[in-house]
Amino acid sequence: MRIAVFCGSSAGNNEIYIEEIKALGEFFAKNDIELVYGGGKVGLMGAVANSVMQNGGKVYGVIPEKLQEKELAHTGITKLKVVKDMHERKAEMAANADAFIAFAGGAGTLEEIFEVWTWAQLGFHSKPCVFFNINGFYDSLFDMINNMVKEGFLKEEYVNMLIKTDDKKQMLKAIKNYKSPNQKW
């Protein structure tokens, strides 16, 4: 199984995020889960890649040329693919992953998970989307998502298709048992 992880290119202000992303990487390696990620060597991205590699797992990175030129590419992983731009990066990651996880991060992390979640709603894929909610990181986002339902802009079935957890074993079980909802149209 290959899982794409979207996460910060910085480490954040709380040590718990680095600790938990390293634990996630170790969990992946020990459960024969291959990591697909953005190809960077910095922040949470670099930490999860390093952890998977250090524990004997496989890591596939996809990085745009512009970021590689800034020397942010992780060269110590199983395979690094350099692509033209962010659109190609996201398409490549989506094509090569069986599931998607949003870990803590910024605007880019949200943009990536929201895009694959939207694709799932539209029936472009039937892969699970996970919000790995360490330290309650995504609690206020889910308040906003639930408000979208309340205000009639999002169907509850599309919220229910998301997996929200802070437990690695529970996450893996939910991914393996995932059933996508009916297509939107």
The answer as to whether 48 is a domain residue is yes
Position 178 in a domain: no
> What domain count does the chain have?
1
User: Domain for residue 42, yes or no?
Assistant: yes
> What is residue 59's three-state secondary structure?
strand
Count of Cβ atoms closer than 10 Å to residue 58 Cβ = 17
Would 6 be classed as within a structural domain? yes
pTM of the model: 0.95
In which domain, by residue range, is 159 found?
Answer: 2-172
Single-letter amino acid, residue 21: I
**Is the CB of residue 174 less than 8 Å from the CB of residue 113?**
no
> Does residue 25 sit within a domain?
yes
User: Does residue 89 form part of some domain?
Assistant: yes
CB atoms near residue 87 (< 10 Å): 11
What CATH number is associated with residue 25?
3.40.50.450
183 domain residue, yes or no:
no
In a domain, 182, yes or no: no
Find out whether 20 and 44 touch, Cβ atoms under 8 Å: no
Per-residue pLDDT of the chain (185 residues; tens, 9 = 90+): 999 999 999 999 999 999 999 999 999 999 999 999 999 999 999 999 999 999 999 999 999 999 988 878 999 999 999 999 999 999 999 999 999 999 999 999 999 999 999 999 998 999 999 999 999 999 999 999 999 999 999 999 999 999 999 999 999 999 999 998 776 65
